[in-house]
Amino acid sequence: MQYLANEQRYASMEYRRCGNSGLKLPAISLGLWHNFGHIDKLENARNILCTAFDKGITHFDLANNYGPPPGSAEENFGKILKDNFLPYRDELIISSKAGWGMWPGPYGDWGSKKYLVASLDQSLKRMGLDYVDIFYHHRPDPGTPLEETMGTLDLMVRQGKALYVGISSYQPEEAAKAIAILKQLGTPCLIHQPKYSMFERWVEDGLLDVLEENKVGCIPFSPLAQGLLSNKYLQGIPAGSRAASHRGNGAIEEDAISPATLNKVLALNKLAEERGQNLAQMALAWILKDPRISSVLIGVSKPEQVLDSIRCLENYSFTSEELDRINAILK
């Protein structure tokens, strides 16, 4: 089907400079971790992507293993790109990653040059691309020298297969080392993608400082704590939710949703209502209030959730009293 993007798509989205680069990212980016695999409806995936781009979301984030099955999110994205988005390729930031298990044997996981080079070549083929805009090492590999992994990221940029590179889920100390190696090689680290939400705040213990000091961007994933920070669990665990479905692949475990956690969710929801937001909008706004955040990744299962999430940009300033209340609730 012919897709014509909304002419007003850049009117209301906010774009933030990413680290010490010339690249700007939309404050809200779309992650394709869930709902874009072969088990999902292609038409729904297409509608989500078109809705997002129509609202100025220019950044689509993938990884080699997204699906299920692994690789299928990139295949489906490649189909939609070919059918609908090819005229807009130069308006898009497309990212992928490698670092988790992708194929059997010793060369299909972690961070060796052998694995990363093969993985990016496969990703480009699946998506029908000559290059990705950002390529990440998806997680640290204790068994491979950091120099090898970072040297491979540098090689990918020099080969023209990636414009920028980043890292994901690196702790502050390892992130600092990786950033230093890339700087020395002449391919700066553009961005770090950590897990960050009101319920998971480890990045505040040094990582954000390391990124700020080195002028590296930050794009958190799972900002809604796999749906906990949305209206989904306000009445307990609904049938069909990630907690109930046991689909794996990052789904939240039922035992993670204790009565104490649900009480926190209800208290946060009350504050969100006072701010004129729903809980998900406040959770996204809470992350975006920090100027060190370049963008935040949302995951959605339907187009309406894209529109709902974007409304967090209408108010992401918090009074000190509101921040104190949030901290008190989360203690």
> Hey, which residues does 297 pair with through a beta bridge?
29
Contact 85, 120 (CB under 8 A): no
Separation between Cα atoms, residue 259 and residue 266, nearest integer Å? 10
Backbone angles phi, psi at 112, to 5 degrees: -75, 160
Proportion of the chain above pLDDT 70, given as a percent: 94
The domain locations on the chain are 15-231+280-316
| pTM flag (> 0.85) | yes
**Burial (Cβ within 10 Å: 0-12, 13-18, ≥19) of residue 90:** exposed
Give the SS3 label for residue 319: coil
Contact 232, 280 (CB under 8 A): no
Separation between Cα atoms, residue 75 and residue 204, nearest integer Å? 35
pLDDT at 192 over 90: yes
Residue 26: name the closest of 217, 164, 280 by CA: 217
Residue 66: name the closest of 100, 92, 42, 41 by CA: 100
Give the Å distances, CA to CA, from 312 to 28, 116, 278. 9, 36, 9
Q: Which two tokens stand for residue 118?
A: 């093969």
pLDDT at 242 over 60: no
Separation between Cα atoms, residue 188 and residue 251, nearest integer Å? 33
Reported confidence tier of residue 247, pLDDT bands at 50, 70, 90:
very low
Separation between Cα atoms, residue 13 and residue 10, nearest integer Å? 6
**Burial (Cβ within 10 Å: 0-12, 13-18, ≥19) of residue 186:** exposed
* pLDDT at residue 245, rounded to an integer: 53
pLDDT at 246 over 50: no
Give the Å distances, CA to CA, from 227 to 77, 118, 197, 243, 300. 23, 33, 11, 9, 10
* pLDDT at residue 53, rounded to an integer: 98
Query: Among 52-66, 153-167, 256-270, where is mean pLDDT lowest?
Result: 256-270
Separation between Cα atoms, residue 248 and residue 142, nearest integer Å? 24
Q: What is the pLDDT of residues 273-296, one digit of tens each?
A: 999 999 999 999 999 999 999 999
The CATH class, in words, for 15-231+280-316 is alpha beta
Separation between Cα atoms, residue 71 and residue 244, nearest integer Å? 25
pLDDT at 256 over 80: no
DSSP state of 58: -
* pLDDT at residue 281, rounded to an integer: 98
Q: What is the pLDDT of residues 199-221, one digit of tens each?
A: 999 999 999 999 999 999 999 99
